[in-house]
Amino acid sequence: MGEGQGEGDSWFHRSSLPATVRDNVPVMRNVRRKMSLADEIKEKERRVREFLQLKGLKALLLKRQANFSWMTGGGLNLVGITTEMGATSLLITEDSKYVISNNIESPRMIDEEGMEKQGFIVKTFPWYEDQEAIIVRDLIGESSFGSDVPFQNAMVVAEDVARLRYSLTPEEQERYRWLGERVSSALEKTMMETRKGEKESEVVARLCKEIWKDRIDPIMLMAAADDRVFKFRHPIPTERKIEKYLMISVNARKWGLIVSLTRFIHFGKISEALGKKYEASVFIDCTMMAHTRPGVPAREVLQKGIDAYREKGYPEEWKLHHQGGSIGYTGRDYRVNFKTPDLIQENQGFTWNPSITGTKSEDTILATSKGPEMITRPILYPTLSMEVAGITFTRPTILEKEGSTSSG
């Protein structure tokens, strides 16, 4: 954040934001104005209505919580934090927009999410009567419409809607930067406070406590101690106690936006072999990030990564786990494979996660025409510097720590 930015320079008006965004006004006050919430919403309505015209549709029904957050500039229609479906729906037509909600959720939609202030018309039905399909038909008649989930008489357009989200607006970028810095700090602080003898689940619990201070949802958590790091690519947290080595990965969400990152800690000095593997993973990650540029087919970046595995002497390791892909309002909008059709968009989020048995490198970036912008990054951790394709990256190392023991 720049110097000399006073309260009057904030990029939003507090009263115009959903409560879930307003909660963090004090910590975000110095972010300069890039695009007002109204302009952000207008841009998203423009994208949706151009899409409707292209597809010959009269309306779009959005039920997924990711799409609600995107369409409302960071609002929440969820009840359970890990659910894909929201508790209310949005219906966007050629000239109007509606919230369809049962009577349980509609008061919060109005009072806390500010839906009427955003220009939505709230349509409410009793919780004990399933009237959503009837309301949709009352509003659009027999006209053709799309939906982001299977719905009566609708064309399913989930992938098309996801593509509308990929290029983040200036306001979304600012929220994303704040989130990336906050989660990076929280994970690294948690790891630095870790002691031998703690359970994986205890470390994860401390991380959750740290990010929940800012109402950040931990929607995916992985933890592995010692040999579990080498055995499993997707290690769910257990009660295994830490002896020497620990990996923690997290997907964390606020305002619908998600960042993903991984950090390691080792009690005592790491072996030469482990250090070599880790630096090779970082090199592969940097190679993929360096080639993540707007207009490039995402599958070409995957091939660059596979070539880097081979260059570092690990030609088969890429086959043991997916290599990551696009991120934003879901943990991965798509995991890149050889048939992925998408071109990388300007200001699209990506998280690559190359791994060599026992190590991994993972942080979130924005793809820009000027090169990758680090959204998550080492803040408290020791770092290493690496130049790839003319770009210098500052990456986290494995944190080496003296072997203090937990009293638990």
CATH of the domain at 107: 3.40.350.10
How do residues 76-90 score in pLDDT, each as one tens digit?
Answer: 999 988 889 999 999
Cα(401)–Cα(42) distance, rounded to whole angstroms?
A: 50
Sign of CA dihedral 367, 377, 331, 234: positive
HEC string of the chain?
A: CCCCCCHHHECCCHHHCCHHHHCCHHHHCCCECCCCHHHHHHHHHHHHHHHHHHHCCCEEEEEEHHHHHHHCCCCCCCCCCCCCEEEEEEEEECCCEEEEEECCCHHHHHHCCCCCCCCCEEEEECCCCCCHHHHHHHHHCCCCEEECCCCCCCEECHHHHHHHHCECCHHHHHHHHHHHHHHHHHHHHHHHCCCECCEHHHHHHHHHHHHHCCCCEEEEEEEEECHHHHHCCCCCCCCCECCCEEEEEEEEEECCEEEEEEEEEEECCCCHHHHHHHHHHHHHHHHHHHCCCCCCEHHHHHHHHHHHHHHCCCCCHHHHCCCEEEECCCCCCEECCCCCCCECCCCEEEEECCEECCEECCEEEEECCCCCEECCCCCCCCEEEEEECCEEEEEECCEEECCCECCC
How do residues 179-189 score in pLDDT, each as one tens digit?
Answer: 999 999 999 99
Cα(169)–Cα(347) distance, rounded to whole angstroms?
A: 8
pLDDT value for 244: 98
- How far out from the chain centre does Cα 348 lie? 11
pLDDT value for 66: 97
Sign of CA dihedral 159, 259, 364, 223: negative
Residue ending a domain, choose from 148, 165, 182: 165
Residue 91 has pLDDT above 90, yes or no: yes
Same domain, 149 and 184: no
pLDDT value for 402: 87
Amino acid at 159: E
Q: Region 152-161: what's the mean pLDDT?
A: 97
Cα(172)–Cα(156) distance, rounded to whole angstroms?
A: 26
Cα(148)–Cα(84) distance, rounded to whole angstroms?
A: 11
pLDDT value for 15: 36
Q: Region 263-269: what's the mean pLDDT?
A: 98
Residue ending a domain, choose from 128, 149, 165: 165
How do residues 192-248 score in pLDDT, each as one tens digit?
Answer: 999 999 999 999 999 999 999 999 999 999 999 999 999 999 999 999 999 999 999
Cα(228)–Cα(212) distance, rounded to whole angstroms?
A: 27
Domain encompassing residue 74: 37-165
Beta bridge partners of 99: 90, 122
Amino acid at 238: T
Query: Packing angle between helix 272-290 and helix 298-311, nearest 10 degrees?
Result: 150
Contact status, residue 173 vs residue 74, Cβ threshold 8 Å? no
Cα(185)–Cα(381) distance, rounded to whole angstroms?
A: 9
> Which tops the pLDDT comparison, 22 or 124?
124
In a domain, 408, yes or no: no
Tokens of 210: 């740290």
Q: Report the number of distinct structural domains present in the chain.
A: 2
How do residues 314-362 score in pLDDT, each as one tens digit?
Answer: 999 999 999 999 999 999 999 999 999 999 999 999 999 999 999 999 9
Length of the chain: 408
pLDDT value for 36: 84
How do residues 19-64 score in pLDDT, each as one tens digit?
Answer: 444 444 444 444 434 348 899 999 999 999 999 999 999 999 999 9
pLDDT value for 266: 98
List C-alpha distances in Å: 183 to 6, 108, 213, 354.
25, 27, 11, 20
Same domain, 103 and 208: no
In a domain, 18, yes or no: no
Same domain, 77 and 209: no
Same domain, 178 and 202: yes
Res. 405 pLDDT band, cuts 50 70 90:
low
Count of C-beta atoms within a 10 Å radius of residue 200: 26
| Reported pTM | 0.90
Same domain, 315 and 180: yes
Same domain, 176 and 157: no
Same domain, 200 and 135: no
pLDDT value for 31: 42
Residue 17 has pLDDT above 60, yes or no: no
Amino acid at 213: K
- How far out from the chain centre does Cα 160 lie? 19
Cα(120)–Cα(260) distance, rounded to whole angstroms?
A: 32
Residue 68 has pLDDT above 80, yes or no: yes
Residue 153 has pLDDT above 50, yes or no: yes
Same domain, 234 and 249: yes
Residue 18 has pLDDT above 70, yes or no: no
> Residues with Cβ < 8 Å from 224, sequence gap 6 or more?
200, 231, 232, 235, 246, 247
Same domain, 213 and 125: no
